[in-house]
Amino acid sequence: MLIFDQLKKSDRKLRLVAIAILTGLTTLLVGLYFVQVISSKRYVKDLNNQSFRTVRVPSIRGQILDRNRLPLAGNRALFNINLYLEELREAFKEEYKLRKASRKLDRSEMTELGLTTRFNVISNLVQKLSLVMQQPIAFSENQFRKHYEHWTYAPLPLLTNLAPEQVARFQENSSKTPALNLEIQPVRYYPYKTTAAHVLGYLQRSEGADDDEETVLFNYRLPDYEGKVGIEAAFDKELRGSAGVKSVLVNSLGYRQSETVITPPEPGKNVILTLDLPIQQATERALRSRNPNERGAAIVMDARNGDVLALVSSPAPDPNQFTPRISPEYWQELTDPRQLPLINRATGAAFAPGSIFKIVVALAGLEAGTINPSFTMTNPGFIRVGNRTIHDTAPPGEYNFQRAFIKSSNAYFIRHGLDTGVEKILSMGRRFHLGEAVDLPTLQNVRGFFPTREWIQRQRGRGDPWTDGDTANLSIGQGAIAVTPMQMAVMTAAVANGGKVVWPRIVQRIEPQEPAGDEDTALVFPNRVRSELGVNPTHLALIREAMRGDVEDEGSGWRAAVPGMQVCGKTGTAEVKQGGKLVDKITWFVSFAPYESARYVVVVMVQSGASGGGTCAPIAQQIYRAIKEREAQRNNTKPDRLASAN
């Protein structure tokens, strides 16, 4: 080095000093290289850890629309007032000085005073706000301390769900206080309240613990909701979209300094149902016409393809009550053991079908040749099976198939059921997929119960063999059988459409909230046929004919008749017995219309009704009237979207 050469050769000591200094400087240089270049990443990470907080920003939830894109579930603006702590720092300081005065405090006393000071400043502000808003505001010291300790950088929510006049009052009086901020939060909104509540489901506050797809560890999550049941749950991922990420720069005291949006939230998609809102509403009205708290279910289905046009279960919850938080009183109401509003009675509960099961028995008998439609049987008004006598609700007299079906003669069907044999009845039932779930994406499907050969054998092994009495019971839809109204709708549709057993469809498509212009972005769910019945079409025609007679020829379902609709149906009244004593009745009406080329299937089930014909048929009639009106209205206005849907 230059300087070394310049030093006199003899000046050994000075050279030594120079070398020592050079060594020292080199040490620093190496140290700096190590810190700033080699391990820089580690320190950048530390820096980010201490000065950035990631905040999860939920996206706007997609809507659930009916087939005509009327919103069944949407979003509305919730007005909240949030408090920003960093805006109060000056106020904290001043108050702190005042309180401390000239006292000498040790460190922990200072911290404590600091906290109480902050709480007091905020609490005064909250008091003022409370006066302006004319509403008490719950704000406790514990709440503040927790927030201050963990989320100093995040706004502290003070008031939520402001009334419009409160919004106005706030803007007039307090909007100049920089620490208080009026913010809009989108919340789920079900404009028709209980309408289609079971299909839609409801939301609950999401804690995000099961969000395994999210790899980012968030310091803070803005409130987010997730679907608990129904479409909201089944398509939660699609509806929810993906949450955005916001990064908040915080200073050494934890106060917010600035924010950057790292990923904007991606709005959720819309789910378009097959439901038709006017029909759904009419069906609900009809089901509740007798009693607003009727326990029952009603389904309107497109007989040709299985599109569910209305799906009603009563009583129904109001999904609006679940967000932001459900009240304990309402929860009490929802868990009433008799009403059970949360149960979807159309798909999520199974009942004895009663006489409507005679459709299956009749078809089994016709196919087996054990029922001869022209054969006439004398009915004494009862039938003896083994040593048991079963009374017939139909009057004594001469019965052919048609009359037996219309009058729902138990004697006729028990006798022919026994003739046909349990094997054939069970095999016919399985062609209708009884005892199997319909797998609607409402996540409320039960299989019901339908005996299988294995089950019968198992029961025999347990000392409970299948007897003629059991076959007799099954022949009139009682005993070892439980079905859901939806299964009955599928059954009726199969009879009506000539043998297609469909998968009911309730979701048509999923689309982006703002369509990109081309249709490809939509996810379409086509109609699906589950299986073919594979029976003689004339036999199906016979049953359709009999069903028409049930409504139009003074049969048990005559109350369902609507002029010009050619309604065809079958009534059912199942008895629920406990220890041989009648405790309840399940009443049914399954139907389709029009007779010539079936379009609509209407199934009505009412618990504790009087009888299928007396309770359910009138409900079905109202529904058919509404459908007729709807058709007329639609023909007058715009092209038939109902019929054109796929």
Applying CB under 8 A, which residues contact other proteins? 1, 3, 6-8, 11, 13-14, 16-18, 21, 24-25, 27-29, 31-37, 39-40, 42-44, 46-47, 50-51, 249-253, 257
Residue 438, φ and ψ in degrees, nearest 5: -90, -5
| Cβ at position 20, least distance to other proteins in Å | 8
Nearby residues of 462 by Cβ (< 8 Å), 6 or more positions away: none
220-221 vs 52-57, strand pairing mode: parallel
Q: Which two tokens stand for residue 363?
A: 């078809």
| Cβ at position 48, least distance to other proteins in Å | 9
Determine how many CB atoms are found less than 10 A away from the CB of residue 244.
Answer: 17
Q: Which two tokens stand for residue 450?
A: 């339908």
Residue closer to other proteins by CB (options 36, 646) is 36
Nearby residues of 643 by Cβ (< 8 Å), 6 or more positions away: none
Which conformational region is residue 241 in: left (phi greater than 0), alpha (psi within -120 to 50 degrees), or beta? left
H/E run at residue 602: strand 600-607
| Cβ at position 215, least distance to other proteins in Å | 24
| Cβ at position 29, least distance to other proteins in Å | 6
Residue closer to other proteins by CB (options 184, 253) is 253
Q: Give one DSSP letter per residue of 188-256, joined into a string.
A: EE-TTTTTTHHHH--EEE---TT-TT--SPPSEE---EEE-SHHHHHTHHHHH-B-EEEEEEE-TTS-E
| Cβ at position 245, least distance to other proteins in Å | 19
| Cβ at position 148, least distance to other proteins in Å | 17
Peptide bond into 58 cis (omega under 30): no
Single-letter amino acid code for the residue at 401: F
| Cβ at position 36, least distance to other proteins in Å | 4
User: CA 354 to CA 571: how far, in whole Å?
Assistant: 9
H/E run at residue 471: helix 468-475
| Cβ at position 4, least distance to other proteins in Å | 9
Residue closer to other proteins by CB (options 37, 217) is 37
Radius of gyration of the chain (CA): 36
| Cβ at position 35, least distance to other proteins in Å | 5
Residue closer to other proteins by CB (options 262, 334) is 262
Helices (H) and strands (E) in the chain, counts: 22, 24
Residue found by looking up tokens 């868990």 in the block: 335
Sign of CA dihedral 165, 171, 173, 179: positive
- The beta-strand segments (E) located in 400-525 are 500-503, 507-512, 523-524
Task: Cite the DSSP H helix spans in 525-605.
Answer: 537-552
Residue closer to other proteins by CB (options 34, 375) is 34
Residue closer to other proteins by CB (options 11, 553) is 11
Q: Which two tokens stand for residue 263?
A: 């990923």
Residue closer to other proteins by CB (options 51, 291) is 51
Q: Which two tokens stand for residue 45?
A: 């990470």
| Cβ at position 180, least distance to other proteins in Å | 25
Single-letter amino acid code for the residue at 251: N
Residue closer to other proteins by CB (options 17, 643) is 17
CB 200 within 8 A of CB 65: no
Residue closer to other proteins by CB (options 32, 131) is 32
Residue closer to other proteins by CB (options 49, 452) is 49
The DSSP code for 35 is I
Residue closer to other proteins by CB (options 17, 524) is 17
| Cβ at position 64, least distance to other proteins in Å | 45
Please state the separation of Cα 70 from the chain's center in Å.
17
| Cβ at position 19, least distance to other proteins in Å | 10
User: CA 361 to CA 228: how far, in whole Å?
Assistant: 39
Q: Biggest alpha carbon distance in the chain?
A: 143
Residue closer to other proteins by CB (options 154, 196) is 154
